[in-house]
Structure formats: structure tokens, C-alpha cells
């Protein structure tokens, strides 16, 4: 099984969605994230990280609000956004970092 670190070190973009089960905006973003996962399958990986279950990861990446999205490429954070974001903007950001 791959570790978080191994996954984000991919040369392909990896979108990490830091969320919480109690977060309304996180729930609203879930269908958008699922659509993007389907549309960009094979070109981008998407990980969902529950901040309540993975507090160390949330602290490591200074996630102070949810949802927070980080885009990694080759292990480096290339983009970061806190709060809701529309599907098209998210896809454009991922594709511009492909």
C-alpha cells in the first residue's frame, strides 16, 4: 500500500481535499470532487483527508479551515485554496499543473 508521501511525489498532479464530516461546505464540494475524479481519471489522483482522523497531516500542511485543497506535483505544493471553489476553476488549475 502506498503512503501519503509516495502518492504526492507523483509526477502527475495529486489533489488533496482536506475535509471534515461535520463541514457543510465540504459536503457541498464532494459531488464536484467526484466529478473531477471521473473526468481526470488517469491524469490526476485525488485524495480525501479527514482532518479529524489525520490531525498530523492537517498540522503538517497548516490546514486551519476546511475544505482546503492542496495540489502536489513531484512532492511539492504547487497550489493551495481554502473554501469552496467551482469545478471549472479547479479543473483549470489541475490541468495547468499537468
Q: What is the pLDDT of residues 41-96, one digit of tens each?
A: 999 999 999 999 999 999 999 999 999 999 999 999 999 999 999 999 999 999 99
Q: What is the pLDDT of residue 8?
A: 96
What gap in Å lies between CA 92 and CA 89, rounded to an integer? 5
Q: What is the pLDDT of residue 1?
A: 87
According to the CATH classification, is domain 19-96 in 3.40.30.10? yes
CB within 8 A of 20, min separation 6: which ones? 26, 50, 51, 52, 66
pLDDT of 98 higher than 90: no
Q: What is the pLDDT of residue 38?
A: 96
- 78 exposed, middle or buried (CB, 10 Å; 0-12, 13-18, 19+)? middle
**Which neighbouring-strand residues pair with 45?**
14
DSSP 67: S
Q: What is the pLDDT of residue 21?
A: 97
Domain boundaries, the chain: 19-96
Residue 37 three-state SS:
helix
What gap in Å lies between CA 39 and CA 43, rounded to an integer? 9
Catalytic residues: 23, 26
Amino acid at each position: 500500500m502506498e503512503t501519503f508521501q509516495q502518492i504526492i511525489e507523483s509526477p502527475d498532479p495529486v489533489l488533496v481535499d482536506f475535509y471534515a464530516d461535520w463541514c457543510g461546505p465540504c459536503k457541498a464540494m464532494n459531488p464536484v470532487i467526484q466529478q473531477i475524479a471521473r473526468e481526470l481519471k488517469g491524469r490526476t489522483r485525488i485524495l480525501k483527508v479527514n482532518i479529524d482522523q489525520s490531525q498530523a497531516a492537517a498540522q503538517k500542511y497548516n490546514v486551519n479551515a476546511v475544505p482546503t485543497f492542496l495540489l502536489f506535483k513531484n512532492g511539492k505544493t504547487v497550489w493551495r485554496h481554502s473554501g469552496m471553489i467551482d469545478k471549472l476553476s479547479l479543473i483549470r488549475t489541475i490541468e495547468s499543473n499537468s
